[in-house]
């Protein structure tokens, strides 16, 4: 087991910088997930920890030892690849033992490690099969098994579940969680799927365009995002963002007018410096934080375009509806909102509804996306 | 026949017609001719005339021996060389990869007569660059075309020069289809580049290597141009005569089409048999 420390890590490809000074501390035994959209640099960061990519600047330490110039095999890490990277011409058993055999590990110890991995992952009956004779889930187990036999200090996972179907993904997610508990080893996991990040991580690192946007526990990121990017990325369906304008400031709170909702107004208490009256802001509300009319601090009228019924809940995809009593905004009907409701067969396309927003269940962002607290 | 099928066959008809006249009919016809005595007019059916002669003909066995000798020496050397070239071409360290790829492939598109003439000049006893190079390092010059062993060497060198690059390009395509992350996994497993080549690259490249080997076996069994042009019709004294050349000599110089057809079928049969053995030996264990 080992802690991993990234200090001002920079990566350049030619003249193009793709990681801009990453600082991350992963504690011993912690499960940290790097999450972000495609091309944000999360896989590159993982490959730099593994030693498969050179480091253009900064320092990476594993177990207190700087490993910038240490060979990948000597870093005490094991990696599970997105495409499994199994040796196609070898049996499962040979795949698991290949590295150990090539390095002259004693036969008895190799057997012990392979059997232990097979037992942990319940793949003992597959040992004689070739990768092409396995299902996607079984291949992924073998890939994880190959990492286990190395008995590493740190496990690295590079989008390991993205080639699996939805049901298998959920199952493997639970398996990986179980594995982490059983082995107690530091794990760093890369994914673009925020659900995977939320369910697996002790802490999440949210990346965007080579920058770390926020590091925190899953629910901290969900409840208290640092900026609009994190607020939009964490949570599914994603947070709704509504254009608004500051129309009043009474010291501890600002009043914002929702531009696309017929001038509906919300008074939002703030703890920090309030934005100037007249400035444009963005109000963020999660789909599950819309309440019945009159229950919140500000009612808005909407028209349901599409209703998705998932059984336990329904999602209403809505646009700004007709008059809610106030003057018309600049672009009525331009914003699409996703609203979570208790499952109801009655909601259908074209329904007019009034929903309510609570000041305490909404977030305010300035035009650049920074949070206004 | 369903309408769609009929349409497909109508489109195929021009090809099938030409194939039938210029491919299928000669194949059938030569098979039938191999059972006829063609030294007499009119030709007569005599099943053992050509096939019986084949079994006891020293010229045939000489040509067979030469062909197999080239096969067992030149093909493995060429395939090994092609693998080395393909690995070098695939190296990320290599600059101007496109240029090298073209250079390796170029011999295939050079005219056979031109390349044969150049090889004859290069290996010329008095003026050839090869003998000049040997002399310059203190070695005696070699009379390449008057002795069987050196003449055979020239044939093998020429064929290797012509086809190694071609095979390297095919192998390169195979190399590039091996996923990079398999090598990365091996690197993390502390497997050296050398071991990666023998334990990962070669096994995964095996189907392509077998493909190249089978193509080369078929090509070598039909070898004609080099012994015809470089060593002047299989010289010295039939020392480099191959089955292809014997076929040509029997068919188009002696006009003994029956015997030439029997030789042709023997060549084809041997090529198929050797290729099948090769495929069987290198099959994937279940």
CB spacing of A78 vs B188 below 8 angstroms: yes
Please state, rounded to an integer, the average pLDDT across all residues of chain A: 90
- Reply yes or no on whether the pLDDT at A333 is more than 60: no
The residue of A54, A72, A85, A103 whose CB has the most chain B CBs within 10 angstroms, and thus the best one to mutate to test that interface, is: A85
- Reply yes or no on whether the pLDDT at A309 is more than 90: no
Query: Residue B195: its chain A contacts at CB < 8 A?
Result: 102
Please give the pLDDT value at position A346. 65
Please give the pLDDT value at position A125. 93
A155-186 per-position pLDDT tens digit: 999 999 988 888 888 988 998 999 999 889 99
Q: CA B86 → CA B76, B81, B107, B172, B230, distances in Å?
A: 15, 9, 16, 5, 28
Strand partners, A211: A208
Closest residue of A to B202, CA-based? A89
Minimal Cβ distance to A73: which of B188, B195, B204: B188
Residue B22 resides in a domain: no
3-state secondary structure of B113: helix
- Reply yes or no on whether the pLDDT at A101 is more than 60: yes
Please give the pLDDT value at position A348. 65
Closest residue of B to A72, CA-based? B188
Minimal Cβ distance to A73: which of B182, B189, B200: B189
DSSP A74: G
Is-above-0.90 flag for pTM?
A: no
A7-41 per-position pLDDT tens digit: 999 999 988 999 999 999 999 999 999 999 999 99
Please give the pLDDT value at position A272. 87
3-state secondary structure of B191: coil
A45-64 per-position pLDDT tens digit: 999 999 999 999 999 999 99
Closest residue of A to B284, CA-based? A89
CATH number at B142 reads: 1.10.3720.10
Minimal Cβ distance to B203: which of A81, A89, A146: A89
Query: Residue A89: its chain B contacts at CB < 8 A?
Result: 203-204, 206
- Alpha-carbon distance of B242 to B227, in angstroms, equals 7
Closest residue of A to B185, CA-based? A85
A104-129 per-position pLDDT tens digit: 999 999 999 999 999 988 899 999 99
Q: CA A303 → CA A238, A336, A337, distances in Å?
A: 19, 10, 10
CB-based contact A7:A212 (threshold 8 Å): no
Please give the pLDDT value at position A326. 38
- Alpha-carbon distance of B29 to B35, in angstroms, equals 10
Closest residue of B to A128, CA-based? B286
- Alpha-carbon distance of A60 to A137, in angstroms, equals 32
Minimal Cβ distance to A50: which of B188, B200, B204: B188
Lowest-pLDDT range of A53-67, A265-279, A307-321, B27-41: A307-321
DSSP A157: E
Please give the pLDDT value at position B49. 87
Residue B239 resides in a domain: yes
| A19-22 contact pairs (CB < 8 A, 24+) | A19/A44, A19/A45, A19/A48, A19/A56, A19/A210, A20/A210, A20/A211, A21/A57, A21/A58, A22/A58, A22/A212
**Residues on chain B bordering chain A, Cβ-to-Cβ distance under 8 angstroms:** 179, 181-182, 184-191, 195, 199-200, 203-204, 206
Residue B213 resides in a domain: yes
Element (H, E) at B79: helix B58-90
Of B95, B285, B94, B87, give the one whose Cα is nearest residue B183. B87
Query: Residue A103: its chain B contacts at CB < 8 A?
Result: 189-191
- Reply yes or no on whether the pLDDT at A201 is more than 90: yes
CB spacing of B191 vs A102 below 8 angstroms: yes
CB-based contact A79:A156 (threshold 8 Å): yes
Of A239, A247, A245, give the one whose Cα is nearest residue A222. A239
CA distance A88 to chain B (A): 8
- Position A305 confidence tier, pLDDT thresholds 50, 70, 90: confident
**Residues on chain A bordering chain B, Cβ-to-Cβ distance under 8 angstroms:** 50, 52, 71-74, 77-79, 81-83, 85-89, 98-99, 102-103, 146, 150
Domains in chain B: how many in total? 1
Q: Where in the sequence is the domain holding B122, given as residue range(s)?
A: 54-281
- Reply yes or no on whether the pLDDT at A208 is more than 90: yes
- Alpha-carbon distance of A60 to A58, in angstroms, equals 7
Token pair of A272 as six digits: 């920090």
- Reply yes or no on whether the pLDDT at A331 is more than 80: no
CB spacing of A78 vs B182 below 8 angstroms: no
Mean pLDDT by 10 residues, chain B (286 residues): 83 94 93 90 87 91 94 96 93 86 89 92 92 93 91 94 94 93 93 94 93 92 92 87 94 91 93 89 75
**Beta strand residue intervals within chain B, DSSP E:** 36-37, 44-45
Query: Residue B200: its chain A contacts at CB < 8 A?
Result: 87
Please give the pLDDT value at position A347. 63
Residue B182 resides in a domain: yes
- Alpha-carbon distance of A106 to A115, in angstroms, equals 14
3-state secondary structure of A290: strand
Closest residue of A to B184, CA-based? A52
CB spacing of B188 vs A88 below 8 angstroms: no
- Alpha-carbon distance of A339 to A336, in angstroms, equals 10
The alpha helices in A150-254, defined as continuous H runs, are: 166-183, 194-200, 218-223, 228-233
Rounded to 5°, angle at Cα B281 from B280 and B282: 95
- Alpha-carbon distance of A20 to A31, in angstroms, equals 23
Lowest-pLDDT range of A304-313, A345-354, B46-55: A345-354
CB spacing of A72 vs B195 below 8 angstroms: no
- Reply yes or no on whether the pLDDT at A322 is more than 70: no
Residue B240 resides in a domain: yes
Residue B172 resides in a domain: yes
Read off φ and ψ for residue A291, nearest 5 degrees. -115, 170
CB spacing of B189 vs A85 below 8 angstroms: no
- Alpha-carbon distance of A220 to A238, in angstroms, equals 16
Q: CA B32 → CA B46, B52, B262, distances in Å?
A: 11, 15, 9
Query: Residue A81: its chain B contacts at CB < 8 A?
Result: 181, 184-185
- Alpha-carbon distance of A83 to A80, in angstroms, equals 9
B115-125 per-position pLDDT tens digit: 999 999 999 99
């Amino acid at each position: 087991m080992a802690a991993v420390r990234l200090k001002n890590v920079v990566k350049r490809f030619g003249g193009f910088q793709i990681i801009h000074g990453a600082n991350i501390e992963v504690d011993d035994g912690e499960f940290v997930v790097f999450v972000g959209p495609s091309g944000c640099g999360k896989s590159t960061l993982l490959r730099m920890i593994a030693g498969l990519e050179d480091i253009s600047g900064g320092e990476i330490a594993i177990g207190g030892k700087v490993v910038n110039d240490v060979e990948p095999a000597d870093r005490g890490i094991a990696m599970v690849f997105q495409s499994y990277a199994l040796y196609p011409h070898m049996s499962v058993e040979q795949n698991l033992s290949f590295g150990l055999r090539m390095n002259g590990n004693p036969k008895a110890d190799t057997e012990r490690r392979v059997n232990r991995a097979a037992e942990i992952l319940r793949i003992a009956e597959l040992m004689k099969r070739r990768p092409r004779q396995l299902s996607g889930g079984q291949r992924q187990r073998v890939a994880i098994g190959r990492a286990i036999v190395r008995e590493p200090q740190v496990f690295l996972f590079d989008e390991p579940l993205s080639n699996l179907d939805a049901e298998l993904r959920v199952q493997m997610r639970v398996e990986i969680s179980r594995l982490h508990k059983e082995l107690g080893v530091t794990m760093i996991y890369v994914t673009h799927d925020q659900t995977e990040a939320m369910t697996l991580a002790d802490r999440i690192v949210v990346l965007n365009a080579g920058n770390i946007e926020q590091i925190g526990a899953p629910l901290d990121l969900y409840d208290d995002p640092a900026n609009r990017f994190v607020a939009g990325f964490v949570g599914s369906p994603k947070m709704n963002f509504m254009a608004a304008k500051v129309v009043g400031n009474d010291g501890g709170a600002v009043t914002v007018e929702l531009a696309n909702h017929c001038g509906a107004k919300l008074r939002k208490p703030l703890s920090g410096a309030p934005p100037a009256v007249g400035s444009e802001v963005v109000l963020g509300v999660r789909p599950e934080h819309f309440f019945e009319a009159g229950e919140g601090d500000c009612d808005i009228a909407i028209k349901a375009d599409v209703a998705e019924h998932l059984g336990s809940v329904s999602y209403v995809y809505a646009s700004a509806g007709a008059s809610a009593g106030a003057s018309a905004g600049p672009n009525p009907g331009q914003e699409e909102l996703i609203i979570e409701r208790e499952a109801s067969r009655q909601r259908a396309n074209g329904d007019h509804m009034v929903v309510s927003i609570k000041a305490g269940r909404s977030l305010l962002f300035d035009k650049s996306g920074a949070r206004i607290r | 026949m369903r309408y769609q099928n009929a349409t497909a066959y109508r489109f195929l008809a021009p090809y099938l017609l030409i194939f039938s006249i210029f491919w299928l009919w000669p194949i059938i016809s030569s098979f039938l001719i191999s059972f006829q005595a063609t030294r007499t007019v009119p030709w007569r059916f005599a099943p053992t005339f050509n096939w019986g002669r084949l079994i006891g003909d020293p010229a045939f066995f000489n040509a067979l021996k030469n062909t197999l000798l080239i096969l067992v020496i030149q093909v493995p050397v060429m395939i090994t060389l092609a693998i080395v070239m393909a690995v070098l071409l695939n190296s990320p360290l290599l600059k101007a990869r496109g240029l090298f790829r073209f250079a390796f492939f170029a011999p295939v598109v050079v005219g056979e007569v031109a390349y044969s003439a150049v090889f004859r000049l290069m290996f010329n006893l008095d003026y050839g660059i090869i003998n000049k190079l040997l002399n310059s390092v203190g070695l005696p010059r070699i009379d390449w075309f008057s002795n069987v062993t050196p003449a055979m060497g020239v044939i093998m060198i020429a064929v290797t020069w012509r086809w190694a690059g071609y095979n390297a390009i095919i192998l390169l395509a195979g190399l590039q289809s091996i996923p990079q992350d398999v090598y990365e996994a091996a690197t993390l497993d502390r497997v050296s580049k050398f071991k990666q080549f023998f334990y990962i690259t070669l096994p995964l490249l095996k189907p392509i290597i077998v493909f190249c080997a089978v193509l080369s076996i078929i090509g070598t069994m039909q070898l004609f141009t080099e012994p015809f042009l470089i060593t002047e019709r299989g010289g010295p004294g039939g020392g480099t005569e191959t089955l292809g050349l014997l076929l040509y000599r029997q068919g188009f110089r002696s006009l003994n089409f029956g015997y030439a057809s029997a030789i042709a079928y023997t060549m084809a049969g041997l090529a198929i048999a050797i290729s099948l053995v090769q495929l069987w030996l290198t099959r994937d264990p279940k």
